[in-house]
Structure 1
Amino acid sequence: MFLNFRRIRKFQCVQLMTTCLVLSAVMVCWEQLDNSVVSHVKSYSFRYIINGFTYINRSLTIPRESALRFSNFRYLLDHPDKCANQNVLLLLFVKSIPENIERRNAIRSTWGNETYIQNTLGVTVKVVFALGAIHTERDEPEWSRKSHVGIQEQLSKEDRLHGDLIQRNFLDSFHNLTLKLIMQFHWMHSHCSHARFFMTADDDIFVHMPNLVSYLKDMSSRGVTDLWIGRVHRGAPPIRRKESKYFVPFEMYQWLSYPDYTAGAGYVVSNDVADKIYHASLTLNASLYIDDVFMGICANAIGLSPQDNVFFSGEGKAPYHHCIYNQMMTSHGHVEDIYDLWMVATHPQVKQTTSGLFGRLYCTAVKMTLLCKPYATYPCKAAFL
């Protein structure tokens, strides 16, 4: 009896110590738990139970005169006749910054080469780069101001050579990405509204142009409208941690959840959607600097929801394998490897080795191995398509 009592006391002590350890861990990690778990619970509750997205539209709607401050910037570089008198399948805006000339040259030499697209794929795709400006301050050192002037001169030289830079006079920064997005839709509305599709992409993205063109030609032949495809984020909550790059204060956005939106790395809309987004942007407060979220707000205002395409990547690189290349649309995070990826991903052998019954079965097995695991760039269901 005495031994049993001692065993019970020992068990209770172990249990008490374990409980204390667990509680200590929870207290240490509570901030992270609150941000990652509790915020998502609140977000989904707002989305599916309260469903208050109509209040978002009301709270962000402003007079047209006030909204002009987000689009009324003068052009520093422009090509209003870029699409004139041409049957344009796709207008593709690449978001870049003035210093990234090597990335722009890499895109011009690979997936964004308009001559290759025209001659090999038989369609007209216009690729232009969206830029802001480098502003100098009065109290800035003389050497820094000269450096900024030098970069602008280099941009002018680059533009004379390639004729594909669209630049407006707002500071090119992360917090002005929404201004850059608005510039793109305004430019398309004014100069390329007849293009059947519009795409916006980062300058470190890889676009498998043959696959994308094939898909868009099929959509166009079927007369598809209300098209908005990409990697969809559903029920995402605002990030309230001040140290985060994506921190959004309550005063800027008071709601618990964002409307559905596609990852800003790359997405495509049909021209009717582009026109509606343009008009929506004329009466919405664009102070929210996360451009892909602002796109979701504009789409919510016109009653449009995004469609998930499993072969559009979000934040990561797609696996390097010909079974992936066969259906790839985009892959994110490519700079140094873009030339090599372009060569292998578009090689005719890719289609040869992935076709036929054996090729399809083999690629299904390969894609299951590559994609059916946590944090894969494409979802597991992509292995079976």
Structure 2
Amino acid sequence: MSPRKITKALCKATKWILLLLVVTFLCFRFREKEQQTKGAYKLLQEYINKGLLQAPPARPVVCQPRNVFLLIMVPSAVSNFEQRRVIRKTWGNITTEPSVLLRFVLGKSTMHELQSLAETENSVYNDILFTNILETYENLLHKSIALLRWASFYCQGVQYLLKIDDDMFLNLPRLLNDLRRNPKLNTISGCRVSGASPFRTLFSKWRISRKQYQKDVYPDYIAGTAYLISGDIISKLYNATRRVPYFVFEDVYITGMCRKHIGAVASEHREFSCGFRDKGPCGKNFRYHITGHHYRPTEIQRMWSELQDRWSNCRLADAYLIHQLIYVSQQLMFL
């Protein structure tokens, strides 16, 4: 091999090594931050157990309907402490928005320590709704039904309910401005999916048999990562879940089947993300969009800061192809 080719190969190898080092650094930083958050709750728990601190009195997770314009409910795994911490610091920081209420919806973990830490977390923030639903993928539907039930019984009169996952980025000021300019009734809004068909392939993980769903096409539904329900149909939608037979996919069931059952509209909102990380993790990308799907807590925190700065620009690493490459590399590191 000629010296020129050797030099070229070495340069190429060096670039990949540098990329691997950067990705490894980012992965360990995320894990370190996650452990710090859990450690803070563990320390608080120890102080309470030793009598050095008095546990805050248990407070009911309440809702004041007359004052609530938008109720945000975030299904979250018990173990996702860092995701909840970052949401509270960024788009979920509603201290300047008294008409907005934020609630996390948690199931039941099989790990007692995590469940206990989550209860300690709630003693500090009082923004968690605990359900007696085991934390599994199959139970996501029941968690969403539980949040509909809570909103229906304890938040009657709220004008809008936003169900949004804890890995989503949300431009809350833009959403509020949109709702005040364009009021909605009898509607579920978000990324509308039309003409989708069940997977019938025999060995597919997502296979749906004819017994589970007879028709060839699902009703129009709103992607489950984030959808907005107008307040006038929250109770109707919850009551529909007691009549319409359960279906495994939460978004198809609630925003498709149950919505159709009550005669509500599935409305397309172009500023709700339809894709998986379809925009680079940069706040500038969301100045004219409301939601983005699947971002890490560290990314959400930085994106929120960038969104507040009208002069901020995206980094080279946030270019679509580059950030996708970095993301895939990070996922491989976690395997």
Instruction: With the length of structure 2 as denominator, give the TM-score of the two structures.
Output: 0.71
- What whole-Å deviation, never above 9, does each CA across 1:175-196 have from its counterpart, x for those lacking one? 1111011101100011112111
Tell me: CA distance 1:128–1:273, structure 2 relative to 1, closer, same or farther (3 Å): same
Is 1:180 equivalent to 2:143 in the alignment? yes
Tell me: CA distance 1:176–1:322, structure 2 relative to 1, closer, same or farther (3 Å): closer
Quick check: 1:185–1:278 contact (8 Å CA) kept in 2?
Answer: yes
- The one-letter code sitting in structure 2 at the alignment partner of 1:327 is Y
- Tell me how far 1:299 sits from its aligned partner: 0.6
- What whole-Å deviation, never above 9, does each CA across 1:139-182 have from its counterpart, x for those lacking one? xxxxxxxxx11111111101111111112112111111110111
Q: Distance in 1 between matches of 2:299 and 2:240?
A: 38
Tell me: CA distance 1:329–1:280, structure 2 relative to 1, closer, same or farther (3 Å): same
Quick check: 1:226–1:270 contact (8 Å CA) kept in 2?
Answer: yes
Aligned to 2:308: 346
Q: Distance in 1 between matches of 2:233 and 2:258?
A: 10
Is 1:217 equivalent to 2:200 in the alignment? no
Aligned to 1:92: 72
Tell me: CA distance 1:322–1:165, structure 2 relative to 1, closer, same or farther (3 Å): closer
Bigger share in helix: 1
Aligned to 1:105, what secondary structure does the other structure show? helix
Is 1:327 equivalent to 2:288 in the alignment? yes
- Tell me how far 1:349 sits from its aligned partner: 3.8
Structure 1 portions without partners, runs of 5+: 1-77, 136-147, 354-368, 371-385
What is the 5 A alignment of 1:37-48? none
Tell me: CA distance 1:162–1:252, structure 2 relative to 1, closer, same or farther (3 Å): same
Quick check: 1:198–1:268 contact (8 Å CA) kept in 2?
Answer: yes
- The one-letter code sitting in structure 2 at the alignment partner of 1:112 is G
Quick check: 1:246–1:290 contact (8 Å CA) kept in 2?
Answer: no
Aligned to 1:169: 132
Is 1:82 equivalent to 2:44 in the alignment? no
- The one-letter code sitting in structure 1 at the alignment partner of 2:306 is V
Is 1:291 equivalent to 2:271 in the alignment? no
Aligned to 2:193: 233
Tell me: CA distance 1:258–1:80, structure 2 relative to 1, closer, same or farther (3 Å): farther
Aligned to 1:130: 105
Extract structure 1 runs of 4+ deviating beyond 6 A: none
Is 1:251 equivalent to 2:226 in the alignment? no
Quick check: 2:61–2:129 contact (8 Å CA) kept in 1?
Answer: no
- Tell me how far 1:333 sits from its aligned partner: 0.9
Q: Distance in 2 between matches of 1:114 and 1:160?
A: 18
- Tell me how far 1:102 sits from its aligned partner: 0.6
- The one-letter code sitting in structure 2 at the alignment partner of 1:153 is S
Tell me: CA distance 1:338–1:251, structure 2 relative to 1, closer, same or farther (3 Å): same
Q: Distance in 2 between matches of 1:349 and 1:87?
A: 34
Q: How many residues align structurally? A: 255
- What whole-Å deviation, never above 9, does each CA across 1:289-339 have from its counterpart, x for those lacking one? 210011110011112231111110023224346764221100001113011
Tell me: CA distance 1:228–1:162, structure 2 relative to 1, closer, same or farther (3 Å): same
- Tell me how far 1:240 sits from its aligned partner: 2.5
Is 1:310 equivalent to 2:244 in the alignment? no
Instruction: With the length of structure 1 as denominator, give the TM-score of the two structures.
Output: 0.62
Aligned match of 1:205 in 155, 158, 168?
A: 168
Aligned match of 2:93 in 96, 113, 116?
A: 113
Quick check: 2:196–2:218 contact (8 Å CA) kept in 1?
Answer: yes
Aligned to 2:227: 267
Aligned to 1:337: 299
Identity of aligned residues (%): 29
Quick check: 2:195–2:220 contact (8 Å CA) kept in 1?
Answer: yes
